[in-house]
Amino acid sequence: MYKNIEQAEEFACKFKQIYKPACGVDVAICAPFLQLESLKNELCDTNVGIGAQNMHFETEGAYTGEISGEMLTELGIDFVIIGHSERREYNNETDETVNKKVKKALELGIRPIMCCGESLEIREAGKEKEWVGNQIRKGLDGISMKEIPLVTIAYEPIWAIGTGKTASSQQAQDMCKFIRDTIASIYMAETAEKVRIQYGGSVKPANAAELLSMPDIDGALVGGASLVPEDFLQIIEAK
């Protein structure tokens, strides 16, 4: 929840001045709802995708304060983040609502970025894989083999978000590998290789290259470091 509309436009103008598309690297900016149209307009002549940070699973109804996927498609939105840890913690997001939102996004042609991750308490109890595995299985329930390559999975250890702490590259790799293995157990190994798995948790220019060098980390879900165009660009170029 950063930047007003004017600030978002300034960011977009600055970013497109310094950004040079790289082969094999996809870039998207996921912003608050009010800034989406401005970003879409400012970046329309680039290959930068635009995503929302949440959506509702119903088309319309008595859901005051919510935004439907249909409203996002009207703006031509490419991606939507679903089940971010902050949504789960502060807005009562559950694996069941995450699943409904993933299905709705796919139905509308919006590519979901489905988040998963464990708290420090769960990790210290040695239950992180059980927890994350359940999030993956419940979140993807009913998603077909044809649809799953359209879903991005973002692993975000909750204990490394906004704290300045970062999972080691090996910790991140181990969990992302576990996520891919879990997807393979639901579908098949060949299909799991097609799924993009991101790491998100205090990703910044100083650690991006090492994290992104891991074999099962296909990209980054960037938080605070994405607010400064030059920092965001360094992370993009680290891949």
Q: pLDDT tens digits, residue range 7-36? A: 999 999 999 999 998 878 999 999 999 999
Instruction: Give me the domain span that covers residue 102.
Output: 53-57+64-224
**Count of domains in the chain?**
1
The pTM is what?
Answer: 0.96
Q: Is residue 84 part of a domain?
A: yes
Mean pLDDT of 96-103: 98
Average pLDDT of the chain to the nearest whole number = 95
- Catalytic residue list: 84, 156
- Can you tell me the distance from the alpha carbon of 200 to that of 204, in angstroms, rounded to the nearest whole number? 10
Q: Is residue 36 part of a domain?
A: no
State the pLDDT confidence band at 109, using cuts at 50, 70 and 90.
very high
Model confidence pLDDT, tens digit, residues 158-194: 987 766 666 899 999 999 999 999 999 999 999 999 9
Q: What is the largest CA-CA distance in the chain?
A: 49
Spell out a b/e string for 71-103, using b for 16 or more CB atoms within 10 Å of the CB, else e.
bbeeeebbbbbbbbbbbbeeeebebebbbbbbb
State the pLDDT confidence band at 150, using cuts at 50, 70 and 90.
very high
Q: Is residue 108 part of a domain?
A: yes
Q: Is residue 71 part of a domain?
A: yes
State the pLDDT confidence band at 66, using cuts at 50, 70 and 90.
very high
Mean pLDDT of 125-133: 97
Asked whether the predicted pLDDT for residue 202 surpasses 90, the reply is no
Q: Is residue 17 part of a domain?
A: no
Q: What percent of the chain has pLDDT over 90?
A: 92
- The DSSP annotation for 185-235 comes to HHS-HHHHTTSEEEE-SS--HHHHHHHHTSTT--EE---GGGGSHHHHHHH
Task: For residue 113, give the CATH number of its domain.
Answer: 3.20.20.70
Residue among 157, 56, 129, 128 nearest 98 (CA): 56
Q: Is residue 85 part of a domain?
A: yes
Q: Is residue 153 part of a domain?
A: yes
- Can you tell me the distance from the alpha carbon of 106 to that of 50, in angstroms, rounded to the nearest whole number? 16
Q: Is residue 72 part of a domain?
A: yes
